[in-house]
Amino acid sequence: MIKFILKGLLRDRSKFLFPVLTVFSGVMLTVFLYSWMNGVMTEIIRTTAHFQTGHVKITTRAYAKEEAQIPNDLALTDVDSLLTSVRLQFPDIYWVPRIRFSGLIDVPDEKGETKKQAPVFGIAVDLTGKNETENKILDIENKIVSGRMAVKPFDILVSTLLVEKLGITVGDNITLISTTMNGSLVMWNFIVAGTVNFGISGLDKSFIIADFSGMQKALDMENCAGEILGFFKNDLYQKEKSSEIALAFNSNYNDKNNEFSPVMTTLYNQNDLSSIIDMASKFTGIIAFIFIGAMSVVLWNSGLLSGLRRYGEFGVRLAMGETKKHIYGSLILESLITGIIGSVIGTIAGLAIGYYLEYKGINMASMFKNATLTVDNVIRADVTIYSYFIGFIPGICATILGSAISGINIFKRNTSQLFKELEA
């Protein structure tokens, strides 16, 4: 039976080519689109986690409320013991202290007078310690364009665009004007150890990376940190696990009246990322739904056209004694075969494009020129195990659904009228 149907399909291009091409293009687009969107979402989450939120973050309650203002006056105190405690309690996570800061970079001339100034923002991470975690998380060494890694507490890495803007070079002395933990204006000298380019438009314009211990001293934050970030060791955000960790941590510090008691927040609950994560998790379903809906309509329509074209064929088959159910069944079987063939080649093509874009990526720097979003300029697709099914199953379902709806007309044919219809 299947062999018979296959022969029929291969010999009649109109029965086969259009439905297969439709399924192929739909499946290919779905697989590619899913992998691409997955890549975009993953990239946003990954970069935001690395530079801003961590997978979980510990701050004081007051700091968490006013985080957008970088309120270092509300920073965590006694950070060393807090770090020891969380490292013991949650050993599966990398814990890193950080200080976020903003201010002005002042470049002196030969007389020490201001030559140039520019607003900056930055993060202080452990660059000079023995722990290589931050270097791994932020991939700092690989982002250095010129100069070297910071090795002393007052070495600083400056983004390439800022270096150009200020007209400074590696080895120059610059002064950071910012505010201390007590709110006093501070001027502190740093040496430009290297220039970095993270390939993130939102950062590269005016970003600096300083050493954590140096910045603690500069901002009068001895044994203090603005935030402690936690990262899963596989660098993948796990929503449920992070919620469990946050719950366990927060149950130890449940003094809600103390605005300086530590509180842990998951990535999901920071920077409005919940909507992105929710959208990402619903994305598979949305794509499958849109795909099945749209493709079914297209294939239904194609089935109707095909039904009109094959009106005579069905009539003859009915006249020859084939039952309506059997014809309907064979029609469904035909669509199953075209669905499988279309879905297989569509998935292969979609995966090929997906893997290519995962490897090469697309540079969207011009689009992100003025973006404040912390996302890599080169967006890559992310092919996951779901990419193999996201188009395949709906591809088959849509073809069957389309045929099933259009094939209903077979049951409306009246045997007694057949010869009249055929004569006409």
Partner 1 sequence: MKMYSFTVAVAALFLLNQQQDAQNIIKKVEKNRYSDNKYVVSTMIIHGRRAVRKIKAKSWIKGEEKSFTEYISPARERGTKMLKIKDNLWMYSPSSDRIIRISGNMLRQSLMGSDLTYEDMMEDPVISSHYSSVILGDTIITNRKCWKIKLKARTEDVSYKKRIILVDKERFVILQDERYAKSGTLLRKVSVKKMEFIQGKWIATHIIFKDMLKRGKGTEFIINEIKYNVKIPSYRFSKSSLKR
Which residues are at the interface with partner 1 (CB under 8 A)? 62, 73-74, 104, 106, 108, 112-114, 175, 177, 179-180, 182-189, 218, 220, 259-260
184 Cβ neighbours under 8 A, 6+ residues apart:
220
Nearer to partner 1, 104 or 297 (CB): 104
CA distance 178 to 215: 11
The alpha carbon of residue 107 and the mean position of all alpha carbons in its chain are separated, in whole angstroms, by 38
Nearer to partner 1, 187 or 422 (CB): 187
Shortest Å, Cβ 263 to partner 1: 16
Nearer to partner 1, 12 or 73 (CB): 73
Provide the terminal-to-terminal Cα distance of the chain, rounded to the nearest Å: 31
319 Cβ neighbours under 8 A, 6+ residues apart:
415, 418, 419, 422
CB atoms inside a 10 Å sphere around CB 325: 10
Shortest Å, Cβ 220 to partner 1: 6
Shortest Å, Cβ 395 to partner 1: 58
Quote the tokens at residue 43.
Answer: 């990239």
Quote the tokens at residue 276.
Answer: 């992105």
Nearest to 288 by CA among 343, 239, 334: 343
Shortest Å, Cβ 77 to partner 1: 9
Do residues 298 and 22 touch, judged by C-beta distance below 8 A? yes
Shortest Å, Cβ 221 to partner 1: 12
Distances (CA, A) of 295 to 308, 391, 401: 20, 11, 9
Nearer to partner 1, 113 or 240 (CB): 113
Nearer to partner 1, 21 or 177 (CB): 177
Shortest Å, Cβ 391 to partner 1: 53
Angle at 63 between CA 60 and CA 69, to 5 degrees: 165
CA distance 115 to 121: 20
Shortest Å, Cβ 57 to partner 1: 20
Shortest Å, Cβ 204 to partner 1: 22
Do residues 221 and 181 touch, judged by C-beta distance below 8 A? yes
CA distance 193 to 176: 15
Quote the tokens at residue 103.
Answer: 């201010």
If you ran DSSP here, which 8-state letter would residue 409 be given? G
Nearer to partner 1, 107 or 340 (CB): 107
Nearer to partner 1, 166 or 398 (CB): 166
Buried/exposed 194-222: b ≥16 CB within 10 Å, e otherwise: bbbbbbbbbbbbbbbbbbbbbbbebbebe
Q: Are strands 155-159 and 185-196 parallel, antiparallel or unpaired?
A: parallel
CB atoms inside a 10 Å sphere around CB 160: 17
Nearest to 394 by CA among 302, 301, 298, 306: 298
Nearer to partner 1, 113 or 272 (CB): 113
Give the total residue count for the chain. 424
Shortest Å, Cβ 67 to partner 1: 15
Nearer to partner 1, 72 or 387 (CB): 72
Nearer to partner 1, 5 or 177 (CB): 177
Nearer to partner 1, 104 or 345 (CB): 104
Shortest Å, Cβ 207 to partner 1: 19
CA distance 243 to 251: 12
